[in-house]
Amino acid sequence: MALKRIGILTGGGDCPGLNAVIRAVAKNAMGAGIEVIGIEDGYLGLIEDRFCPLKRDDVSNILTLGGTILGSCNKANPSSYAVRQDGKWVMKDVRDQVIKHYKKAGLDALVVIGGDGTMSGAAKLIDAGMSIVGVPKTIDNDLWGSDVTFGHDTAVTTASDALDKVHTTASSHHRVMVVEIMGRYAGWLALNAGVASGADVILIPEIAFDIEKVAAKCVERSKIGKRFTIIAAGEGAKQAGGKMFIDHINEASPDPIRLGGVAKFVSDQVEKITGIESRSIVLGHIQRGGPPTPRDRLLATGFGHHAMCLVHKGSFGRVVIKKNGVIDSIPIVDVADKVRTVPLDHPMLEAARALGTSFGD
Ligand code: F6P
């Protein structure tokens, strides 16, 4: 069947490179005579029937632009959508509504660009009969099945730049500086930024830390004349036997936990144990902003192109991935509800340990 019209949406937390994918998908489709309909704010636009036809001009000059021209939302999974009832949030399955809007718009297929939450949502829409191709994004780099996601390289660059800047002031004031880095339940961002900036201690969710050992590392550095310590703390890092630090719970979100607080905890405890003045910094959403790095632009363009190859072939229900340097695809159901964490035998962990980096264990 020749395709006439496809939809495209960006779901979940935004990241640099989303516009590069939108551009690659839309230009490819338009070149083949396929109309492209942008859906506003991820699945929310599908639920609320907010569609906007895209023209060539809309997707020109957006390759280097951060964010997403379509808008995004990380609280709208159609099979588990928060609705206010009697003063409480109740999760409802609104897939019928989504399919009605999808059919009304005359869409033959949908390209969804998002992370694990968006792919889990897509898996449920595929079950309900929709033709979907997924493109993975996330600064967290935690999408199961893909060695890399676009957005991560830019976030590593931003976090690493922040660590470098903190380095000089830590050195001037002889302080311990703890920098909290995003990444949710996976430590890729903290690990990669930490190693790239030569952090002395890196705390990641995959390796539970002992605060006494973190403090001992700071003292050990003082003894050899290094009067400052840089600690890169992944927001999901936790103490041995302890729990992750939660900043708040967003009840309207299908994934309600928002992490935060580990850097303040580590900084306060290290100061208490060692007497060395300590400060904490939370990098936060800065890591999701700015123009994508050239590497992310290339990956996003390659992913967008591959997604359209799948659409042209009618290979739906698949998500684009990069494995062993090759862009390919796997079934979306395979990645739904899974997280790709840092394996404990990862070569970068070994390399960092060999350099004397502490993981607080
Ligand atoms: O998944 C991307 C991410 O930035 C995580 O690293 C972070 O934990 C979360 O999103 C923050 O979510 P929100 O934008 O809802 O604060």
For residue range 132-191, list pLDDT tens digits in order.
Answer: 999 999 999 999 999 999 999 999 999 999 999 999 999 999 999 999 999 999 999 999
Q: Tell whether ligand 1 has an atom less than 6 A from the beta carbon of residue 184.
A: yes
Q: Are residues 140 and 162 in the same domain?
A: no
Q: What is the pLDDT of residues 39-82, one digit of tens each?
A: 999 999 999 999 999 999 999 999 999 999 999 998 889 999 99
Q: Are residues 174 and 299 in the same domain?
A: no
On the 0-12 / 13-18 / 19+ scale of CB atoms within 10 A, 103 is: exposed
**Residue 1 confidence (pLDDT) above 80:** no
Q: Are residues 25 and 140 in the same domain?
A: yes
Report yes or no: 310 and 111 within 8 Å, Cβ to Cβ.
no
Q: What is the pLDDT of residues 217-252, one digit of tens each?
A: 999 999 999 999 999 999 999 999 999 999 999 888
Q: Are residues 179 and 202 in the same domain?
A: yes
Q: What is the pLDDT of residues 72-92, one digit of tens each?
A: 998 889 999 999 988 888 999
Q: Which domain holds residue 304?
A: 5-150+292-335
Output the residue whose Cα is nearest ligand 1's atom 8. Answer: 184
pLDDT for res 109: 97
Active site members = 140
Q: Are residues 42 and 165 in the same domain?
A: no
In ligand 1, the atom with minimum distance to the C-alpha of 253 is 15
Q: Tell whether ligand 1 has an atom less than 6 A from the beta carbon of residue 221.
A: no
Q: Tell whether ligand 1 has an atom less than 6 A from the beta carbon of residue 182.
A: yes
Whether 139 is covered by a domain: the verdict is yes
Q: What is the CATH number of the domain that holds 230?
A: 3.40.50.460
Q: What is the pLDDT of residues 340-354, one digit of tens each?
A: 999 999 999 999 999
Whether 255 is covered by a domain: the verdict is yes
Q: Are residues 73 and 139 in the same domain?
A: yes
What domain count does the chain have?
Answer: 2
Q: Are residues 185 and 129 in the same domain?
A: no
Phi and psi of 296, rounded to 5°? -70, -35
Q: Are residues 146 and 76 in the same domain?
A: yes
pLDDT for res 2: 84
pLDDT for res 255: 83
Whether 361 is covered by a domain: the verdict is no
Output the residue whose Cα is nearest ligand 1's atom 11. Answer: 258
pTM: 0.96
What does pLDDT average to over the chain? 96
Whether 177 is covered by a domain: the verdict is yes
pLDDT for res 334: 95
Which of 72, 138, 140, 339 best tests ligand 1's pocket when mutated (most atoms within 8 Å of CB)? 140
Q: Are residues 14 and 144 in the same domain?
A: yes
From 269, 262, 281, select the one nearest 163 (Cα to Cα): 281
Q: What is the CATH number of the domain that holds 60?
A: 3.40.50.450
pLDDT for res 195: 98
Q: Are residues 114 and 50 in the same domain?
A: yes
pLDDT for res 251: 84
Whether 127 is covered by a domain: the verdict is yes
Q: Are residues 18 and 142 in the same domain?
A: yes
On the 0-12 / 13-18 / 19+ scale of CB atoms within 10 A, 161 is: middle
Q: Tell whether ligand 1 has an atom less than 6 A from the beta carbon of residue 74.
A: yes
Q: Are residues 259 and 231 in the same domain?
A: yes
Q: What is the pLDDT of residues 86-123, one digit of tens each?
A: 888 899 999 999 999 999 999 999 999 999 999 999 99
